[in-house]
């Protein structure tokens, strides 16, 4: 029994548009459910009639999400390594990678639980709230943090499933978690009057149930002895390779996060209205990223499998087809933002001065999907190929260009210079990764 290819086309099969869409569409739908959960969380606690619970849930969720996000490399690294092992028909390594990912996820979650007191203290030092908000946020986090092992393990589980093109399973997990969370939110908060703690318990139960459902989808691996072949699971060279790949991805992700955080900080120095306008416009970038994720994930799976099978032509076709669909999405986003950007801004911001400011910078959002398309899609291609060093180095170059551009442009152009710097960094990352692509193809033999 070959777990690697269960329910998946042979990696030697020609990559088709249908195959790309079968991988991508469930991820796009899955991503569309994410904002709904946040809106329900906010709406439910909003029924309490007080401002503090809303702020507490928002602040607590942001802090915990940021802590978990540090281990987001686990999903990306797992996709690349597992898809290559699957393409190479290495069933034992496919199963061992699931076990390694779960060990890292459970271990990282346990570490966060053990260090919650100093971690929460440091977090509230950086993001202080009022005494009432902080007190409620601590109650929320003290409950929800106990699902950290489940939440982080889900990175490994979803990465393992995506690598085998089983994105429908990922969609089911996401819909189940969000649906259960919403139902429990309504019951615990409005029915049982548990307040902020009710929201925390709802998320705690949803995350653990999501992890258990994910493990059920991975049951074919557990039906074989390979997942507990401890000699292979703890094979030193494979662990070293996995940690190197994950470390490079972590550095790349931290640089990307530093870019956006510095963007917000520099925007805050230009006034409250500008800061608010930038926050509204960043949602356009998030919408684009959510829409592109499905095709970037498809690139991860298809490129990884083709590389593992040492089939350069299949790799190239997978990269071209997924990138072509990604470009179509970006063009559609550009037209959509040009046509409906103003009304979207008015929907998200009610203050007239914020609306006017955001509209003046809207052209940058119209250009952003096309400016960032190559970078976003090449990220998926390089993740699938586990060319993590290239990702790290090209991100470092684009970050440096962003900093230099901001230092030059912001003093003279203000917020226009800030947005130009960000878009320039997108273009630079796309170009530099593109220059490294031929070496990636050569690695396929």
Cα gap 80→83, rounded to integer Å? 5
Quick one: pLDDT at residue 6?
Answer: 42
CB 218 within 8 A of CB 157: yes
Quick one: pLDDT at residue 65?
Answer: 85
Per the prediction, the chain carries an average pLDDT of 90
Say how many C-beta atoms besides its own lie within 10 A of residue 38's C-beta: 13
Long-range contacts of 311-317 (CB under 8 A, 24+ apart): 311/11, 311/12, 311/87, 311/444, 311/445, 312/441, 312/442, 312/444, 312/445, 314/11, 314/12, 314/14, 314/15, 315/385, 315/441, 315/444, 316/441, 317/14, 317/15
Say yes or no to pLDDT of 4 above 80: no
Q: What is the pLDDT of residues 276-303, one digit of tens each?
A: 888 888 888 888 988 899 999 999 999 9
- Closest to 315 (Cα-Cα) out of 17, 7, 6, 87: 87
Cα gap 35→294, rounded to integer Å? 16
- Percentage of the chain surpassing pLDDT 70? 95
Quick one: pLDDT at residue 60?
Answer: 85
Cα gap 307→19, rounded to integer Å? 17
Cα gap 406→423, rounded to integer Å? 11
Q: Which of 5-14, 164-173, 202-211 has the lowest mean pLDDT?
A: 5-14
Eight-state DSSP code of residue 225? G
Name, in order, each residue with C-beta under 8 angstroms of 199's C-beta and a sequence gap of 6 or more.
41, 44, 45, 57, 140, 185, 188, 189
Residues 217-233 as b or e (16 or more Cβ within 10 Å = b): bbebbbebebbebeebb
Quick one: pLDDT at residue 84?
Answer: 95
pTM for the full predicted model: 0.89
Handedness of CA 260, 28, 388, 318 (dihedral sign): negative
Quick one: pLDDT at residue 208?
Answer: 97
Q: What is the pLDDT of residues 333-373, one digit of tens each?
A: 999 999 999 998 887 777 788 889 989 999 999 999 999 99
Burial-class residue 439 by CB neighbours within 10 Å (0-12, 13-18, 19+): exposed
Q: How many helices (H) and strands (E) does the chain have?
A: 18, 0
- Token couple for 70: 């540090």
* C-alpha distance across the termini of the chain, in Å: 27
Q: Which of 35-44, 123-132, 162-171 has the lowest mean pLDDT?
A: 35-44
Q: Span 421-427, mean pLDDT?
A: 97
Say yes or no to pLDDT of 11 above 50: no
Cα gap 69→66, rounded to integer Å? 5
Say yes or no to pLDDT of 34 above 80: no
Q: What is the pLDDT of residues 62-95, one digit of tens each?
A: 889 888 988 989 999 999 999 999 999 999 999 9
Name, in order, each residue with C-beta under 8 angstroms of 108's C-beta and a sequence gap of 6 or more.
71, 74, 148, 149, 152
CA 18 to chain centre: 24
């Amino acid at each position: 029994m070959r777990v690697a290819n269960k329910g998946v086309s042979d990696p030697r099969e020609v990559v088709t548009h249908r195959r790309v869409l079968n991988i991508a569409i469930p991820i796009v739908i899955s991503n569309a459910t994410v904002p709904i959960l946040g809106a329900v969380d906010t709406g439910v606690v909003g029924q309490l009639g007080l401002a503090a619970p809303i702020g507490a849930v928002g602040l607590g969720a942001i802090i915990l999400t940021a802590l978990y996000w540090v281990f987001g490399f686990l999903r990306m690294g797992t996709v690349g390594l597992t898809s290559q092992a699957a393409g190479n028909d290495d069933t034992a390594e496919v199963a061992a990678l699931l076990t390694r990912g779960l060990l890292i996820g459970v271990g990282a979650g346990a570490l966060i639980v053990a260090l919650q007191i100093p971690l929460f203290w440091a977090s509230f030092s950086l993001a202080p709230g009022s005494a009432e908000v902080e007190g409620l946020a601590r109650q929320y986090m003290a409950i929800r943090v106990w699902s950290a092992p489940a939440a982080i393990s889900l990175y490994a589980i979803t990465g393992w499933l995506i690598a085998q093109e089983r994105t429908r399973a990922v969609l089911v997990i996401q819909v189940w978690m969000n649906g259960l969370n919403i139902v429990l939110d309504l019951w615990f908060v409005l029915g049982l009057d548990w307040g902020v703690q009710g929201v925390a318990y709802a998320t705690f139960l949803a995350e653990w149930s999501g992890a258990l459902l994910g493990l059920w989808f991975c049951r074919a691996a557990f039906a074989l002895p390979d997942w507990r072949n401890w000699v292979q699971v703890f094979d030193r060279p494979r662990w070293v390779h996995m940690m190197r790949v994950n470390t490079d991805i972590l550095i790349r992700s931290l640089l990307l996060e530093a870019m956006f955080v510095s963007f917000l900080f520099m925007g805050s120095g230009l006034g409250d209205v500008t800061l608010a306008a930038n926050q509204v416009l960043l949602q356009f970038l998030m919408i684009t990223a959510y829409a592109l994720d499905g095709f970037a994930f498809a690139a991860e799976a298809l490129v990884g499998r083709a590389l593992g099978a040492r089939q350069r032509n299949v790799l190239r076709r997978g990269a071209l087809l997924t990138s072509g669909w990604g470009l179509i999405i970006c063009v559609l986003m550009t037209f959509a933002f040009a046509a409906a950007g103003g009304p979207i801004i008015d929907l998200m911001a009610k203050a007239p001065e914020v609306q006017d400011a955001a509209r003046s910078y809207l052209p940058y959002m119209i250009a952003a999907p096309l400016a960032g398309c190559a970078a976003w899609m090449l990220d998926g291609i390089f993740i699938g190929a586990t060319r993590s060093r290239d990702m790290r180095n090209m991100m470092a170059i684009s970050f440096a260009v962003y900093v230099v551009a901001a230092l030059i442009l912001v003093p003279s152009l203000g917020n226009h210079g800030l947005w130009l710097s960000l878009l320039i960094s997108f273009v630079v990352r796309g170009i530099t990764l593109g220059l490294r692509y031929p070496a990636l193809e050569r690695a396929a033999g």
